[in-house]
Structure 1
Amino acid sequence: MPHRMTDVDPRDGRTVEWSGTWVAERLGVELTGDQELTGLLGLALRRNPKRAHLLVSNVLGKHVPQSPTVVWRSGHELGVRVRGLLGDEAARRAVVLGYAETATGLGHSVADGLELAPYLHSTRRPVQGVASAGGFEESHSHATSHLLLPEDPQLLAGDGPLVLVDDEFSTGNTVLNTIRALHALYPRDRYVIVALVDMRSPGDQGRLEGFAREIGARVDLVVTARGSVRLPDGVLEKGKALVAAHEGAATPAPRRERGEIVRLDALGWPDGVPDGGRHGFTPRHRAELVAALPGMAARIAPHLGEGRVLVLGNEELMYAPLRLATALEDAGADVAYSTTTRSPVLAVDDPGYAIRSRLVFPAHDAPADGPGERYAYNVAGGGFDTAVVVLDSAGDTPELAAPGGLLDRVAEHVRRVVVVVVPSYVPPYAASSVPPRASSRAPSLVPQERPSMPLPEPLRGPDFSSYAPEEVGWLLQDLSDVRLEAPTEEREEAVQSGGAHYAESLPVEYQPTEQYQELFHAALDTSAARIAHAVGVVTETVLAERSPRPVLVSLARAGTPVGVLMRRWAQARHGIELPHYAVSIVRGRGIDANALRWLAAHHDPTDVVFVDGWTGKGAITRELAAAVEEFEAAGGPAGFDPEIAVLADPGSCVRTYGTREDFLIPSACLNSTVSGLISRTVLRADLVGPGDYHGAKFYRELAGSDVSGRFLDVVEERFAQVGDAVDAAVKELLGADRTPTWEGWAAVERISEEYGIHDVNLVKPGVGETTRVLLRRVPWKILARAGAGADLEHVRLLAEQRGVPVEEVAELPYTCVGLIHPRFTRGATGADGRAVAAK
């Protein structure tokens, strides 16, 4: 079936122009497959060098306002089909899992169709005090952009079928990686994958059956329609040109008078019923909600007026506003339903295009991944008289109602905005034990009890590291005799497939060529004064604002050379000897809690200043803040300030820094040979017990290549010549607004989408992180800011040695960015989507 230029409106049966016409005609894209496919999907564009088009669902309730009954039935009917496939007995033992943010409401509606199954959806919003049952990325299952936070820790542990729901089954990577990761923890005999559309390419259609054989379980696929997208040659370049030509298009003009904003004070949400499936939603909850819906709709109805109504949900909060909208529709209101989103899409005001308008506003729910833009599509110009904005209480913040915020932007296009707040559900044990603030990882990873054995004293050189003993004490355990190294590609495959965490092994240490070593020494001589200036600025800022006698605690290992230099600056400039220690922090696992306990026993925690080399997108910044908070919530000593001091802050993630420029710090050019011959840190259950520090290795055998001391000495020699400039810079800095903007994180999200990676942890921004990619990972390509000079000579050399392309980019917020492509997912082969494979 080629694309059709008209379609049928599911609301009233009218013939309308197909919302994929604009893209299809201009790009030559064809949608082929089942007859109903174009009724389910339209087409849009977004800036993405891997895929010019974007499939936009007409029945999901995300981007396109739709009848709430149509949206709910789209999921409910799939659930009925799943129940028929499983049978009543298996359906009673099933658990339904939906994906945030897009499929949370769809998954919940599928669970409604099963009737007897509890529901859980992944979340991007960590909840303090609730233990994680797992975490994964869109195409990468070892990090925690998605968290699973069930109130009942046994929810996923049963042996009944697991039903996984997403809006689109395209490559299958996300769902299959999730199954593989959960199967390792909670093995079961049967899985059912549910989606509105199956759009797998011919190359991906052979994976499902083989995957089922690999894990030894039956895997079914239930979808509403199947099809594929035919793309002509040159479609990417045509798509880029179209986006460039239309991305500045104006939103439909606001109403002459801004709409009023009113709040509904007494919704009558039933006590104890969760606002969604973030922590689980049981059949009992469903029954109580359904019983309460008519009363809640009756409380909203007097505020609606006589025109068309939009019920607007909020990102993950899709199901509660959807059911309120269906209740209003049942009561006779003319209602459409959609939700806000974090996904940027090009808007074109044309009836043959799926996204006709876009409202942009700041995030208002204090997301764990930092501030950023959010969007509401097809609201402006949608002909709505009233908008009912439904959100949970965690999102009811000052930013919501601020100028330019969500309410303000919506009020520009409707007569009235009705704000409805559903109480955010937090499991009682979490709500009573910890403050209601977000964190970025599971508190279950923090030791809950103080180890009974005394903690060891720090390791010091020359027995551990090539640094002098007074330069740094390592709060680590020595794993030098343990074989931990694995080939880079083998590690990458294990990490990306979910089979291992990156901290469970070590990369083989890179041995630099003679040409590369010459580059390092040249870069050091060129940049030494610049680094000395940054060292002076960050140290003086710490002394002025944090403590006159700070205890420097560097994050091993990139932070350790910086900590040593800060210690030397304080000694040379002020004659004070600052204590300096190095501790381990692991993304997704947190900081070494035992190291914090040792520090608290020997120093005042309020004097501790955590030190790192640089910021990229700010992942470690957030990790440290959450880890310190959880450490205290679990009973650890209080007083640690999680704000990191860094040499360079190109990501604008911290307040205490030496510079915000993205330039070459030569210590990033090498691994252990510029960091005291110490490996990166290791955290593995069979090596690190409850009373142990995290581990690391001392590569004594590399002493002949060690330049750790030279790096420190060359920079220290420049201290005197930059003193006056440091004083002037610090004076200016102390009076400036240094509030982090998190520009780096926003840039990484944009790059992840533009290059079709869809996983922020595979985007490594900045010179330092790009260098790490080339030294330790399996890079896909390097993005280099056009015109970048000497700071990138070593990057270009490494890229050439590894056969990695370097792409010049005119406008790049960093000097360079390293991209790791998610190509190491082992997956399997499969059938036509109806495949059933058994052991």
Structure 2
Amino acid sequence: MAARLAQALPAGAHRVLVLGFEELMYAPLRLAHELERTTRAEVRFSTTTRSPVLAVDDPGYAIRTRLVFPAHDDPADGPGERYAYNVAGGGFDAVVAVVDSAADTPALHAPDGLLARLAAHTPQVLLAVVPSYVPAPQDAPERPATMLPEPLRGPAFSSYAPEEVGWLLQDLSHVTLEAPTEEREEAVQSGGAHYAESLPVEYQPSEQYQELFHAALDESAARLAHAVGVVTETVLAERAPRPVLVSLARAGTPVGILMRRWAQHRHGLDLPHYAVSIVRGRGIDANALRWLAAHHDPQDVVFVDGWTGKGAITRELAQAVEEFEKLEGVTGFDPEIAVLADPGSCVRTYGTREDYLIPSACLNSTVSGLISRTVLRADLVGPDDFHGAKFYRELAGADLSVAFLDAVSARFPEVTDAACAEAKDLLSADRTPTWEGWAAVERISEEYGIHDVNLVKPGVGETTRVLLRRVPWKVLARAGAGSDLDHVRLLAEQRGVPVEEVAELPYTCVGLIHPRYTRGATGADGRAVTR
């Protein structure tokens, strides 16, 4: 934390104050000591207090100036004034305010709050938030103390910068987990294996497909930036003033990073961001939730994903959080997911409900920090382990992860006003999920004789995944769909998958997995057979 604060200090800062929060003094004092050791600045330390003292501007008097601000930690004895002494007139080039997560409330950020009071007397105010200790309820079941590992970060794990995301995963890069797509599909559909027990072989895009990706990114970067702004502004207004972003690996991770970048761009916030594993039928990684609860207030956690299809993961997360709270006695996690696109109308917090191409769906690890899908297998993941994943270092030459993020975030300035205006309108609108996507999937499943909603993948993002990772049967495309489906048509052509135009389709496209897949159902080249 001290290293990140040192980087954020203004260039040439000579005099810095680290300001603790009432009795929270030890951690701020340690931060001040480390800043003094690693920078050339003169670093002073003091703390806020609830004790009123008369300030007298006299050289022989200890308390020369006084700042007054309202309490911001919801104290048990009710609201009241708090004080910071000798800050005004101190000649500080920057003030680092250190609070715990319980005190990081809207009152802290209010126009008359501590941060605003400090900003009137120093060129730069930095906020550092340390996690509050939250004791378990007395009736919570006892659990043996387990030391969970710290998050993995780039460049040791992923091609993202270390501050962009911390992965609450274990590194399984040394384990061979990939299996041919046909073998995985047969094993999964026969009930002999779970899809999270192995990994698909990473699709290596052709030159033509890469050209489509870059064209799609050029065309949609501003639209994506707008959606990022809308969903981030909604989260900041409704969920928490300084949310802890927790992306569902891996499709949620680029979106979480973009939301974090927007918060920096628009509000100067440095939000924590982590990626965790969730597995259909197995739930979210409980050890990851334990780590989050130990380091942050669960009420600040906002789960992030890329898009919704029919809403299966939305339901999975809600059920998993409910089970976790019953088992652990830890409350406060909100299972509501924030997504970039919600074409299935499954959530309240979204950037758009249009079904269009999000270019990060076009590729696998090479647009996701070179990280694989997550893995959950009993012989690799123990009861006290995080779920696993692999870091494909060998694909570094084809990596577009940071290029994708930079292309979208470069468009933030031009869409800021429009995104903020739309977010303001959405906050007062009825955003109740209709789950129309789930109803459409049930209908399509029956109409096409599939009889399994898990084999129907609605939306551009999910259809792309079908073509990249699994054994597709056919693709349904809305009649008149335009360039958002160019990459889908190319992938379908390369894999020998028919594309069927449908007049009345609630999504731009829908991918269908072979309903009764066996080895004998493919030709010699492994391409899907038609019905």
**TM over 0.5, shorter chain:** yes
Per the TM alignment, residue 728 of structure 1 is displaced from its structure 2 partner at its CA by 1.6
Contact 1:535–1:565 (Cα < 8 Å) also in 2 = yes
1:639-788 equivalences under 5 Å are 639-788=332-481
Preserved contact between residue 497 and residue 826 of structure 1 (Cα < 8 Å):
no
Once superposed, what is the RMSD of the aligned Cα atoms? 1.1
Q: Which amino acid aligns with 2:460?
A: V
Amino acid paired to 1:788: A
1:644-684 deviation line (CA, Å, top 9, x unaligned): 00000000000000000000000000000000000000000
Contact 1:451–1:690 (CA under 8 A) maintained in structure 2: no
Compute the displacement of 1:822 (Å).
Answer: 2.0
Q: What is aligned with 1:576?
A: 269
Task: List aligned pairs for 1:543-554, cutoff 5 A.
Answer: 543-554=236-247
Could you tell me which amino acid in structure 2 is paired with residue 466 of structure 1? S
* Deviations, residues 246-290 of structure 1 (Å, cap 9, x unaligned): xxxxxxxxxxxxxxxxxxxxxxxxxxxxxxxxxxxxxxxxxxxxx
Q: 1:196 aligns to what? A: none
* Separation of aligned partners in 1, 2:518 and 2:179: 17
Q: 1:76-225 maps to which residues of 2 (within 5 A)?
A: none
Partner of 1:480: 173
1:796 is aligned, of 489, 504, 507, to: 489
> How many corresponding residue pairs?
380
SS in 1 for 2:414: helix
CA distance in 2, matches of 1:685, 1:710: 36
Equivalent residue number for residue 491 of structure 1: 184
Q: Deviations over 1:625-662 (max 9, x none)?
A: 00000000112421100000000000000000000000
Q: Which residue of 1 aligns with 2:201?
A: 508
Please give the alpha-carbon distance, in whole angstroms, between the structure 2 residues aligned to 1:657 and 1:521: 25
The equivalent of 1:819 in structure 2 is 512
Partners of 1:669 and 1:646 lie apart in 2 by 17
Residue pair 2:181, 2:200 contacting (<8 A) in 1 also: yes
Answering whether residue 521 of structure 2 is matched by residue 806 of structure 1, we say no
CA distance in structure 2 between the partners assigned to 1:557 and 1:523 by the alignment: 20
Deviation at residue 825 of structure 1 after TM alignment: 4.9
Structure-to-structure mapping, 1:43-442, within 5 angstroms: none
For residues 711-760 of structure 1, the C-alpha deviation after alignment (integer angstroms, 9 at most, x for no partner) is 00000011011111112211210110000000000000000000000000
Please report how far the alpha carbon of residue 826 of structure 1 lies from its aligned counterpart in structure 2 after TM superposition. Answer: 7.7
- Following the alignment from structure 2 to structure 1, what is the Cα–Cα distance between the partners of residues 499 and 273? 39
CA distance in 2, matches of 1:632, 1:453: 18
Kept in 1: contact 2:182–2:519 (CA 8 A): no
For each residue in 1:281-325, what CA deviation from the matched residue of structure 2 results, as whole angstroms up to 9, or x when unmatched? xxxxxxxxxxxxxxxxxxxxxxxxxxxxxxxxxxxxxxxxxxxxx
Q: Report the AA paired with residue 623 of structure 1.
A: E
CA–CA distance in structure 2, aligned partners of residues 691 and 727 of structure 1: 42
Check the 8 A contact 1:647/1:659 in 2, yes or no: yes
Which amino acid letter does the alignment assign opposite residue 558 of structure 1? A
Deviation at 1:451, TM superposition (A): 5.5
SS in 2 for 1:817: strand
3-state SS of the aligned residue for 1:562? helix
Uncovered stretches (5+) of structure 2, i.e. residues with no partner: 1-140, 521-531
State whether residues 486 and 505 of structure 1, in contact with CA within 8 Å, keep that contact through their aligned partners in structure 2. yes
In 2, the alpha carbon distance for the partners of 1:613 and 1:607 equals 20
- Deviation at 1:513? 0.2
The residue correspondences of 1:542-621 to structure 2 (distance < 5 A) are: 542-621=235-314
SS in 2 for 1:773: helix
Structure 2: distance between partners of 1:772 and 1:582: 20
Q: Classify the secondary structure of the residue corresponding to 1:519.
A: helix
Residue 461 of structure 1 corresponds to 154
Whole-angstrom distance in 2 between the partners of 1:723 and 1:557: 27
Conserved? CA contact 1:597–1:636, under 8 Å: no
Taking structure 1 as the reference length, the TM-score comes to 0.45
Q: Distance in 1 between matches of 2:170 and 2:330?
A: 22
- Contact 1:534-1:647 at 8 Å conserved across structures: yes
Determine if the alignment matches structure 1 residue 627 to structure 2 residue 320: yes
TM-superposition CA deviations, 1:87-139 (whole Å, max 9, x none) = xxxxxxxxxxxxxxxxxxxxxxxxxxxxxxxxxxxxxxxxxxxxxxxxxxxxx
| Whole-Å separation in 2 of the counterparts to 1:519 and 1:647 | 21
Amino acid at match of 1:498: G
Q: Which amino acid aligns with 2:211?
A: E
State whether residues 451 and 691 of structure 1, in contact with CA within 8 Å, keep that contact through their aligned partners in structure 2: no
Q: Quote the residue 1:341 is aligned against.
A: none
CA 488–691 in structure 1, closer or farther in 2 if over 3 Å, else same = same
Paired residue secondary structure (2:376): coil
Instruction: Provide the C-alpha distance between the structure 2 equivalents of 1:802 and 1:451, rounded to a whole number of angstroms.
Output: 51
Counterpart-to-counterpart distance in 2, 1:761 and 1:661 = 22
Gapped regions of structure 1 (runs ≥ 5): 1-447, 828-839
**Mapped partners of 1:451, 1:538: distance in 2:** 39
Contact 1:477–1:696 at 8 Å: present in 2 too?
Answer: yes
The answer to whether 1:523 aligns with 2:221 is: no
In structure 1, how many angstroms separate the alpha carbons of the residues matched to 2:209 and 2:361? 13
| SS of structure 2 residue aligned to 1:493 | helix
Distance 1:659 1:623 in 2: 22
Indicate the structure (1 or 2) with the bigger Cα radius of gyration: 1
Could you tell me how far apart the structure 2 residues matched to 1:450 and 1:809 are? 54
Q: Indicate conservation of the 8 Å contact 2:456/2:511, yes or no.
A: yes
